[in-house]
């Protein structure tokens, strides 16, 4: 008995190869969006617990109330805004510097078991984290009007498919589940 003639190639047939989803080796899954939000809220509470009393003692609140009463739309003088932006970033670096250096986590990220990694899955240096991830965002966020728009856009970018916010794109980082 003879073998049947070969069937012509069907260009519309699905391929026989078993195609698996691609995932980079050694890089954990992205952190759940709600966990990132919880971490930010925890970090904000810690930061506010330290900075708000400093602002009270340093006269910031009196200056803010005076700016509101003077009819200047409540806008603080540029020097005062810059001073407190620098103080705020310094306080953030002092509070979060140790866990960022040790594990690539803030205290809030540590609580919810997520961490910051570079695009290869390694822990970025403290200088990279503070200088590329946090400083640009902190500086832009303190610019009146533009800062509010930046923070909104940065926050909404979490809904991208890769779940990387604008500050992640600037720093070349991503937030993943901690092992």
pLDDT of residue 2: 73
Return the percentage of the chain with pLDDT > 90, whole number.
Answer: 64
pLDDT at 102 over 90: yes
Mean of pLDDT values over 7-11: 70
pLDDT at 31 over 50: yes
pLDDT of residue 62: 87
Given a contact cutoff of 8 angstroms between Cβ atoms, the answer to whether 147 and 141 are in contact is: yes
Range of lowest pLDDT (2-11, 85-94, 118-127, 138-147): 2-11
pLDDT of residue 22: 44
Q: 109: exposed, middle or buried (C-beta count within 10 Å: 0-12, 13-18, 19+)?
A: buried
Predicted TM-score (pTM) of the model is 0.78
* Mean pLDDT score across all residues of the chain: 87
Torsion angle defined by CA atoms of residues 128, 131, 133 and 136, in that order, rounded to the nearest 10 degrees = -160
Q: 30: exposed, middle or buried (C-beta count within 10 Å: 0-12, 13-18, 19+)?
A: middle
Q: 2: exposed, middle or buried (C-beta count within 10 Å: 0-12, 13-18, 19+)?
A: exposed
Range of lowest pLDDT (18-22, 71-75, 116-120, 128-132): 18-22
Given a contact cutoff of 8 angstroms between Cβ atoms, the answer to whether 156 and 5 are in contact is: no
The CA-to-CA distance between both ends of the chain, in Å, stands at 61
Give the pLDDT band (50/70/90) at residue 16: low
pLDDT at 67 over 90: no
């Amino acid at each position: 008995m003879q073998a049947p003639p070969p069937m012509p190639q069907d260009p519309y047939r699905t391929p026989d190869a078993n195609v698996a989803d691609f995932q980079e080796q050694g890089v954990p899954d992205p952190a759940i969006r709600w966990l990132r939000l919880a971490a930010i809220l925890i970090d904000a509470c810690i930061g506010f617990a330290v900075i708000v009393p400093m602002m009270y003692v340093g006269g910031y609140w009196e200056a803010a109330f005076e700016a509101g009463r003077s009819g200047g739309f409540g806008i603080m003088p540029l020097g005062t805004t810059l001073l407190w932006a620098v103080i705020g970033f310094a306080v953030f670096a002092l509070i979060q510097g140790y866990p960022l250096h040790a594990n690539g986590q803030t205290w809030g990220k540590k609580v919810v078991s997520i961490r910051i990694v570079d695009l290869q899955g390694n822990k970025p240096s403290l200088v990279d984290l503070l200088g590329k991830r946090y400083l640009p965002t902190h500086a832009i966020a303190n610019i009146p009007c533009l800062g509010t728009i930046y923070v909104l856009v940065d926050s909404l970018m979490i809904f991208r498919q890769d779940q990387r916010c604008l500050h992640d794109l600037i720093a070349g980082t991503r937030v993943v589940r901690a092992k």
